[in-house]
Structure 1
Amino acid sequence: MADQVLGVAMNGVTGRMGYRQHLTRSILALRDAGGVELPDGTRVVPEPVLVGRSERKLQEIAARHGIAKWTTDLDSVLSDDGIGVYFDAQITHAREDAVRAAIAAGKHVYTEKPTAGTFDAALELAKLAHAAGVKNGVVQDKLFLPGLLKLRRLVDSGFFGRILSIRGEFGYWVFEGDWQPAQRPSWNYRAEDGGGIVLDMFPHWHYVLEHLFGSVRAVTARAVTHLPQRWSETGQPYAATADDAAYAIFELDGGPIAQINSSWCVRVDRGELVEFHVDGTEGSAVAGLHHCRVQHRSMTPKAVWDPDGDDTIPYRSQWATVPDNTEFTNGFRAQWELFLRHVCADTPFPHDLFSGARGLQMAEAGLRSSHSGDRVEIEEVELG
C-alpha cells in the first residue's frame, strides 16, 4: 500500500508556541522525516496549510519553510476536501467558534487548551465531535516530556507503593512590562480577554493528575491577582484583571492529596520551572519536565529536628537520578505522532476533547472555590 499525504490546517501558528512547537518542531519535522509510520507499515506525511489573520506573517513563514499553501480565509480551508485535520493554536476566545466550524465541516480536530471559554462550551464541543464521528484531540504536552515519562515509569512499576501526596510548584517572574518587556502577552492578564493562571494552568494539572495518579474529586483553591497593574506591548499601563497566582489542594480518587502552587509572581529557586514531589509508602520522587530524582524507603535517612545548630546534612545529594534509558523526542511531536496514527489507523488516543473539557471543569471548580472560600466537589460527567 502507498503512503498518504494528509492536509493539516494550522490556525494560529504565527504565535510563539504554535510556530516553534507545533509547526517547526512537530509537523515540519515529521514531514521532513518522511512522515509517521502506521501499524500496516505505510506512512502518513502531514502537509501543513497555514491559516491566520496576518497575510504578512503567514507569507513570511510559508516562504521560510517551503509551505505551499496559506490563507486568511478559514472557510476556504474548512471546505477543502484535501484537508483532513484542523489544528487550533489561537488565543482562547477565538478557538471555540473555529473548532465548532471545523467539526461541522467534518474535519478531524486537534487543538490547544483550554478548548473553550467555559466548561459547558468545552463539553458541547466534545459532544459535537462525538456525534459527528470525527477524531479529536487536545494538546497535553507535559505528559510526553522526559521528566514526567520517567515519573510514569515509576508509577507503573509500583515504586511508590501507596501514593500519599503530590506537591507541585510552577511559575516564574513575568516582568510587568514597564522597565523590562514582559515575556508573556498582555491578554494573559486580562480576565475579559480570557486570561488568568487558573484557566491557563489548571487544565494542565488536571491531565497530569488524571493520567498519572487518579481522577480529581474535589478542589479547594485561592486565586489572586498579586500585581494589579502591568504594561502592554506598546508600553501602555493597563489594569491586570486576571488572576496571576493560584494556590490549590486537589483530592484524588483513592485518597492521595495534591497541592499545587501556580504563579507568575515568583522567583525560581528549584531545579526546573515546574516540579512535582511525589511521596509514597515505599519511595519518593521529584520530577521536573526533564529530570527525575528518587529516594527509596530503604535509602531514606533519619532526619532529626534540631533548631539549635546548623543543619549540615546534604539532603539533595542523598537522592538518586532516574536514568533516561531511552531517547526522548520532542513532547509536542510525540503527541502529534499519536494523533496522526489515531486519525489514519484508529489507534487509541485518550487525550480527546472530553478530556480537555474535564480540565476546564476543574479550572471552573477552582475559581468557584476561590470566590466562595468553600471546598468544591467535581461531579462526574458523561459524553453520551
Structure 2
Amino acid sequence: MSRKVIGIVMNGVTGRMGYRQHLVRSILAIREQGGLPLADGRTLWPEPILVGRNAHKLKEIAEQHGLEHWTTSLDEALAHPLAEIYFDAQVTTAREHAIRAAIAAGKHVYTEKPTAETLDSALELARLARDAGVCNGAVQDKLFLPGLLKLKRLVDSGFFGRILSVRGEFGYWVFEGDWQAAQRPSWNYRTQDGGGMILDMFPHWRYVLDNLIAPVQSVYAHTATHIPERVDEQGRTYPATADDAAYGIFELAGGVTAQINSSWAVRVDRDELVEFQIDGTHGSAVAGLRNCRFQHRAATPKPVWNPDLPATESFRSQWQQVPDNGEFDNGFKVQWELFLHHVASGTAYHWDLLEGAKGVQLAELGLRSAAEGRRLDVPELTL
C-alpha cells in the first residue's frame, strides 16, 4: 500500500484551539491511526509544517511531537516543497492577509472561523479561492459533535413533526484574571483585537441553525459588556471593550423562531456548556455536546400550574436518551478528514469559504442590530 504525503502549513498552533483541537486531536491523531485511507487504496499521510511568530514555542511543540518542519516565516512555509494546504487558527485580525497569501501561492485553504473581520473581506476570500481553483473550507465543528449528530438524526427522521422553536444556551464564567487566571485569552475581550461574543459565536449559530433546522432569515440581537474591566496574562488591568454576552432572536425559514443566549459571564446550571432545545408538534429534544434526550408527544406529561404547592414531578426523569448507535470521533478530526478527502480525492465538500462568509454576515448584522436596536433581514449570499 503506497503512502501519499500531504504537507499542511499550520498557522496558529501555539494557541489553545490550534494546538489542542487541530494539531494534537486532529492531524496528529490521524497520523497515530496510521494515516487516512483513500478510496484508491493509498494512505494519506499529513505532514504538519508549523508556522507562527514565537520560535521558542514552535520549536518546543515540534520537539515534543517529533515534527521536523517549523518556521516563523509564512512565505517560507508556503514555499515548502511539501506544502499543499494552508490552515489558519490565528487571531481573527491576522487571518485575511495570511489566507490571501496562501491562495496566491496556489494552496488549498482550511480556516477557523470567523473567516475574516468583515463580510466584504470574507466574500472576497471566497471569490479568490474560487477563481484560483483551490479547495477551501471553514471549520464548522459543532455539526460533528455527538449531541448535535443525534439531534440531526431526530430532525431527519421527522420526529418533531412541525418544528416550532429552538432555544440555545451557551457559556460559562470566565474569570476576570485578578484572583483566578482567565480561561480565555485577553484579546477575546478587546474589540480592537478582534474580540467579542457576537463575532466569536454568531458564526457558529449560523451554521448550526442553517444545517440542522432551516436557513436564518432575520436577526435581532442585544449585546452587553457585563465585566467592564479584566486582567491580562501579564497581570495588567485593561478595559474590556468587546461584548462578553449576546442575546439573539433569529427567524428561520418556515416560521421557526430561535433564541440563543451566549455569555462568558454566566454560571452553569445545565448538563453541558452548550445546549439546544427543539420543540415541535410531535416531540421535543435537548442536545448538548455529547448527549441528546427527547420526549415524544405520546409521553408528554400534563403539568398543572399551582404555585401554592411544591412540585411533585421529576421533569428531567420524564425524558429519554437518544442512544449512541455508533462510535463518535472528535468533531474537529472528522471535519479534517472530510476536507483531506476533498483535497486528495475530489469528494464533495459543503462547508467552504462561502459558508464561512455566512457566519461573518450574521455576526456583522448582529452587531448592527444591537447598535440600532432593531430586527434586520439576512439576505441570501452569492458569489
- TM-score surpassing 0.5? yes
1:177-188 matches, within 5 Å, as 177-188=177-188
What residue is the counterpart of 1:237 in the other structure? Answer: 237
In the TM superposition, residue 35 of structure 1 has moved relative to its aligned partner by 1.4
In the TM superposition, residue 185 of structure 1 has moved relative to its aligned partner by 0.6
In the TM superposition, residue 252 of structure 1 has moved relative to its aligned partner by 0.5
What residue is the counterpart of 2:85 in the other structure? Answer: 85
Which amino acid letter does the alignment assign opposite residue 372 of structure 1? E
In the TM superposition, residue 156 of structure 1 has moved relative to its aligned partner by 0.9
Which amino acid letter does the alignment assign opposite residue 22 of structure 1? H
Q: Secondary structure at the match of 1:279?
A: strand
What residue is the counterpart of 2:46 in the other structure? Answer: 46
Which amino acid letter does the alignment assign opposite residue 245 of structure 1? A
Which amino acid letter does the alignment assign opposite residue 111 of structure 2? T
Distance in 2 between residues matched to 1:202 and 1:35, nearest whole Å: 34
Distance in 2 between residues matched to 1:82 and 1:307, nearest whole Å: 68
In the TM superposition, residue 42 of structure 1 has moved relative to its aligned partner by 2.0
CA RMSD of aligned residues (A): 0.9
Which amino acid letter does the alignment assign opposite residue 54 of structure 2? S
- Percent of aligned pairs with the same amino acid: 67
Distance in 2 between residues matched to 1:381 and 1:338, nearest whole Å: 24
In the TM superposition, residue 7 of structure 1 has moved relative to its aligned partner by 0.5
Distance in 1 between residues matched to 2:302 and 2:39, nearest whole Å: 51
Which amino acid letter does the alignment assign opposite residue 350 of structure 1? H
Distance in 1 between residues matched to 2:225 and 2:244, nearest whole Å: 5
Distance in 2 between residues matched to 1:362 and 1:344, nearest whole Å: 32
What residue is the counterpart of 2:119 in the other structure? Answer: 119
Which amino acid letter does the alignment assign opposite residue 227 of structure 2? L
What residue is the counterpart of 1:101 in the other structure? Answer: 101
In the TM superposition, residue 311 of structure 1 has moved relative to its aligned partner by 1.1
In the TM superposition, residue 32 of structure 1 has moved relative to its aligned partner by 2.2
Distance in 1 between residues matched to 2:381 and 2:276, nearest whole Å: 27
Distance in 1 between residues matched to 2:155 and 2:327, nearest whole Å: 20
In the TM superposition, residue 222 of structure 1 has moved relative to its aligned partner by 0.2
What residue is the counterpart of 1:259 in the other structure? Answer: 259
Distance in 2 between residues matched to 1:4 and 1:380, nearest whole Å: 39
Distance in 2 between residues matched to 1:174 and 1:108, nearest whole Å: 35
What residue is the counterpart of 2:334 in the other structure? Answer: 334
Which amino acid letter does the alignment assign opposite residue 257 of structure 1? T
Do structure 1's residue 356 and structure 2's residue 347 form an aligned pair?
Answer: no
What residue is the counterpart of 1:291 in the other structure? Answer: 291
What residue is the counterpart of 1:129 in the other structure? Answer: 129
Distance in 2 between residues matched to 1:9 and 1:22, nearest whole Å: 12
Compute the TM-score of the two structures, normalised by the length of structure 2: 0.99
Which amino acid letter does the alignment assign opposite residue 148 of structure 1? L
Task: Name structure 1 gaps, 5 residues minimum.
Answer: none
Which amino acid letter does the alignment assign opposite residue 359 of structure 1? G
What residue is the counterpart of 2:160 in the other structure? Answer: 160
In the TM superposition, residue 255 of structure 1 has moved relative to its aligned partner by 1.1
Do structure 1's residue 317 and structure 2's residue 304 form an aligned pair?
Answer: no
Distance in 1 between residues matched to 2:82 and 2:49, nearest whole Å: 10
Distance in 2 between residues matched to 1:37 and 1:207, nearest whole Å: 28
- How many residues of Structure 1 are paired with residues of Structure 2 in the alignment? 383
Which amino acid letter does the alignment assign opposite residue 373 of structure 1? G
After superposition, give the CA deviation of every residue in 1:182-214 in whole Å (9 maximum; x if it has no partner): 111110000011100000000000010011011
After superposition, give the CA deviation of every residue in 1:281-326 in whole Å (9 maximum; x if it has no partner): 1110000011000000110011111111111110000000011110
In the TM superposition, residue 79 of structure 1 has moved relative to its aligned partner by 2.0
Distance in 1 between residues matched to 2:212 and 2:25, nearest whole Å: 26
Q: Secondary structure at the match of 2:304?
A: coil
What residue is the counterpart of 1:344 in the other structure? Answer: 344
In the TM superposition, residue 39 of structure 1 has moved relative to its aligned partner by 2.3
Distance in 2 between residues matched to 1:34 and 1:297, nearest whole Å: 47
What residue is the counterpart of 1:29 in the other structure? Answer: 29
In the TM superposition, residue 34 of structure 1 has moved relative to its aligned partner by 1.8
Which amino acid letter does the alignment assign opposite residue 107 of structure 1? K
Do structure 1's residue 369 and structure 2's residue 369 form an aligned pair?
Answer: yes
Distance in 2 between residues matched to 1:281 and 1:317, nearest whole Å: 21
Do structure 1's residue 150 and structure 2's residue 154 form an aligned pair?
Answer: no
